Amino acid sequence: MRVPTHSLTRWRQLLGAVGAHRPDDSLYHEILERYQSPQRHYHTTEHLEELLALWHRHERALEPAHPAEIELAILFHDAIHDPLRTDNERRSAVWAMSALTAAGVADDAASRVEQLVLATKHAAPPATHDEEILVDLDLSILAASPERFEQYEHQIRAEYAEVPVTVFREKRREILARFLARPQIYHTEVFRHRGERQARTNLERSIEALAR
C-alpha cells in the first residue's frame, strides 16, 4: 500500500484530534483501497501522496484554522470517484460525514470535513480559509512540471476512456478554460507564489493541444 506520507498511526492521531472516541482502523484501510481501484489512473494513492506531501511541507505557512479536518478531507475528497457521474464530491462528502460520525468524531468537526470535501467540486469560491487551502492543494497539479502535467492529462483521459474522444476534448477544453479565465487560479499566497505562472502556462498549452 503506497502512501509513505501517511500512516495508520497518523490516522489515529487525526481521529483523536477531532474527538473520536471509537477509532476505526478499518475505515482508513477502506479509504486507501478505494484509491487503489483498477479503473483509477489519476485519482489514486499517488494523488494522495502528492497532496499530503505538499500539505505537510506548507501546513505552517498556510496557517489553517482546523488542520486535522483539512488532512481528513484530503483523504476523503476523492474516495468515491466514478468518471461517468457528476456528484462524486457530494457522495464523498456524505460518506465522510457518516463514516466519521460513526467513528465518534465530534459533529462540528465531521461537518467541517464534509464542507471541505464539497469545496473540491470547484463549483463556487471557497467559503473559508481552510477551504481555500484544500482547493489550492487539489489544484496544485495544474502547476506541476510540464512532464508531470502531460502525464496527468494522459491519466485523466484514461479515466474517461469510455467517453468518445471528440466529446472528451470539447469538455476537457471547457473545464481547463474555466480555470484559466479566473483572475487568480490559487487563493492562498503560498500557492500563488509557488505555481500561478506555471499553472497558466500548462493550461494554455493543454487547451491548444486539445483544440488541435
Residues 99-139 have pLDDT tens digits of 999 999 999 999 999 999 999 999 999 999 999 999 999 99
On whether both 16 and 50 belong to a single domain, the answer is: yes
Q: Per-residue pLDDT averaged across 164-181, rounded? A: 97
On whether both 116 and 187 belong to a single domain, the answer is: no
pLDDT recorded at residue 154: 98
SS3 82: coil
Length of the chain equals: 212
Res. 15: pLDDT tops 90: yes
* Residue 163 burial class via C-beta count within 10 angstroms: exposed 0-12, middle 13-18, buried 19 and up: middle
Domain housing 33: 1-138
Res. 6: pLDDT tops 90: no
User: Which of 111, 138, 165 finishes a domain?
Assistant: 138
On whether both 110 and 212 belong to a single domain, the answer is: no
Res. 212: pLDDT tops 90: no
Alpha-carbon span 205 to 199, nearest angstrom: 10
The enclosing domain of 48 has a CATH number of 1.10.3210
Q: Are 206 and 163 in contact (CB under 8 A)?
A: no
Percent of the chain with pLDDT over 70: 97
Alpha-carbon span 122 to 207, nearest angstrom: 19
Res. 3: pLDDT tops 70: no
On whether both 132 and 55 belong to a single domain, the answer is: yes
Alpha-carbon span 85 to 118, nearest angstrom: 15
State the alpha helices, DSSP H only, in the chain: 8-17, 25-35, 45-62, 67-76, 88-102, 107-119, 129-138, 146-159, 165-180, 189-211
Instruction: Give CA 50 to chain center in angstroms.
Output: 10
On whether both 35 and 79 belong to a single domain, the answer is: yes
On whether both 134 and 80 belong to a single domain, the answer is: yes
On whether both 134 and 152 belong to a single domain, the answer is: no
Alpha-carbon span 45 to 40, nearest angstrom: 10
Q: Per-residue pLDDT averaged across 71-76, rounded? A: 98
Integer angstrom CA distances of residue 148 from 23, 46, 55, 154: 36, 12, 19, 10
On whether both 118 and 156 belong to a single domain, the answer is: no
Q: Per-residue pLDDT averaged across 24-34, rounded? A: 94
Average pLDDT, the chain: 95
Q: Are 34 and 79 in contact (CB under 8 A)?
A: yes
User: Which of 83, 106, 138 finishes a domain?
Assistant: 138
pLDDT tens by residue, 147-168 = 999 999 999 999 999 999 999 9
User: Which of 138, 173, 200 finishes a domain?
Assistant: 138
On whether both 46 and 151 belong to a single domain, the answer is: no
Nearest Cα to Cα of residue 110 among 78, 81, 72, 136: 72
Residues 6 or more apart whose CB falls under 8 angstroms from that of 128 comprise: 65, 115
Res. 22: pLDDT tops 90: no
pLDDT recorded at residue 187: 98
On whether both 31 and 107 belong to a single domain, the answer is: yes
pLDDT recorded at residue 2: 45
On whether both 27 and 52 belong to a single domain, the answer is: yes
Give the number of domains in the chain.
2
On whether both 93 and 21 belong to a single domain, the answer is: yes
